[in-house]
Structure 1
Amino acid sequence: MTEARPVPAYARFFQGFILGKLVYEMPGGPRLMKFATVINFQKALMFPYLLGLMWLYRHHSSAHTTAAWIYVGLHGTYGLVWYLKDKTFPDPGWQQRITIVGAIDSIIGVLGWYWLFGWLLISGHGGTYPINEKPWFAIAITLSTLGMAIMIAADAQKYYTLRVQRGLITDGMFRYVRHPNYTGEMMIYLGFALLVWQWIPFAVLAWVWFGLFTANMMAKEASMSRYPEWAAYKKRTTWVIPFIL
């Protein structure tokens, strides 16, 4: 075991300011809830939220399209999958307690933007697909479904492996990429964005992926660098896409 390398300044800013100052350390009263509770609320509420939108826009043709129903099924199911995952093998990173103000900040800053995806599609603000909708639907469904499987498998492997033995995980879902849970999460939301096919979801994903996700992965890699096998593992793997990125 060697000394971990310093966390890059970019990651320190995002983790220290966005998560640290605006969520974990935000003043405003006692820390009444876990951050996981806020995330679970946003995820598990997706099904009733989307169905509520379909009822609200029931007189609009956009609320009755195949794309709208596919979106409700995919994003609603993902919310339940996430909730079950957290109750079965919770991520220690989300167990910190936060204040009401911190919870509101997390909704405004990141989580609440995901609710916008479904509203854009169901209210009729989605775009026109560049190819026939049937293969387009197949691509979106494949990305999201496969992404859920990758995210669940990676988080489960990490959770149960570290319960038995602490150390660097270099096999299974982590054999070719160092952050397969982020790979899965990115695939899930890319599928959602393809169904909406409008610039706003892609702008949200750019903010989350190149801001928070990148900062979290940088910080994680700084921590993992303390292991002797880290250099060899990093050399033969990529961040999130096997053999590419």
Structure 2
Amino acid sequence: MARIDPRLFRSRAMSESVLPYAAPGWAVAMRRLTTYLSQDFLGGPRPWKLAWVVNFQKAGTFVFLGALIGYYHNTSTAAWIYLAMHGSYGLIWIIKDLAFPDPSWQVKVTIGGGINAFASVLAWYWVFGWLLISGASQPDYPLPDAVWFCLCISLCMLGCAIMIAADAQKYFTLRLRGGLITDGMFRYVRHPNYLGEIMIYGSFALMVWHWLPAVVLAWVWLGLFAVNMAMKEASMSRYPQWAQYKRRSWWLIPGLL
């Protein structure tokens, strides 16, 4: 098997430190492309950590959405709920990063790579809020507004809890021992942290109720998340207990996927 460049495994959205035994070719190719675009683009000095780029967007979301509400004079219930959901999630991420940072986010990136990482993914998340608050999206929800808001808020809160619990378990467990994590949040689902983030951003898209967030999330979930999970599973296959763990667990959703 050809030797794989270890730089392909340097970030959280791209996050395993152990080289996989049988990573799918499509996942390796996609990882190589996204790693170059987000970390190595145009070459040159590496003055920034990838975490700084991500945290800038996360921490700035509450301020950005609040400024949109003021600029467009949109004080609707939907606008305030969206600010509470997406803005608070960004602050939750910052708290999580301070409490148990993912070491893979600490990789240094080129200026071009950092700008690319922001422009190709992170900035688009701000567009979600702009669509709703500016009035570019006029959502006609399939359920009464109060019921729809309840659904979106519940999905966001549950997603945050799942993501944080999974990341915390992974962080503190791996500080004590290596190997597979097959209990707790990982007992039935092999990628609960990604499940949590899918639920969170899915709730934002449901609040906006516009085609553009669906396109952005399709790119992120298929182009990044699916690749990461495929690479992670290839890496975990090196452990003797992997086959048994895979048989009794699910990729993302117990009983479905």
Establish whether TM, by shorter chain, passes 0.5.
yes
CA distance in 2, matches of 1:4, 1:183: 22
Match of 2:33 among 17, 24, 27: 17
Cα shift at 1:146: 0.5
Matches within 5 A, 1:43-192: 43-58=58-73, 63-126=74-137, 127-192=139-204
Count of residues in Structure 1 that have an aligned counterpart in Structure 2 = 238
Q: Once superposed, what is the RMSD of the aligned Cα atoms?
A: 1.1
Taking structure 2 as the reference length, what is the TM-score of the superposition?
A: 0.90
SS at match of 1:160: helix
SS at match of 1:189: helix
Aligned to 1:31: 46
SS at match of 2:190: coil
Aligned to 1:41: 56
CA distance in 1, matches of 2:136, 2:40: 37
CA distance in 2, matches of 1:14, 1:54: 37
Contact 1:237 1:243 in 2 (8 A): no
- 1:36-93 Cα offsets, whole Å, 9 max, x none, are 11000010000000011111101xxxx2211110000010000001011111111122
CA distance in 2, matches of 1:78, 1:154: 16
SS at match of 2:101: coil
Structure 2 portions without partners, runs of 5+ = 1-18
- CA 1:16 to 1:130, structure 2 compared with 1: closer, same or farther past 3 Å? same
AA matched with 1:15? R
CA distance in 1, matches of 2:66, 2:223: 31
AA matched with 1:113? W
Aligned to 1:244: 256
Contact 1:14 1:215 in 2 (8 A): yes
Contact 2:166 2:185 in 1 (8 A): yes
Taking structure 1 as the reference length, what is the TM-score of the superposition?
A: 0.95
Cα shift at 1:28: 4.2
Is 1:7 the counterpart of 2:20? The answer is: no
- CA 1:107 to 1:4, structure 2 compared with 1: closer, same or farther past 3 Å? closer
Aligned to 1:194: 206
AA matched with 2:170? K
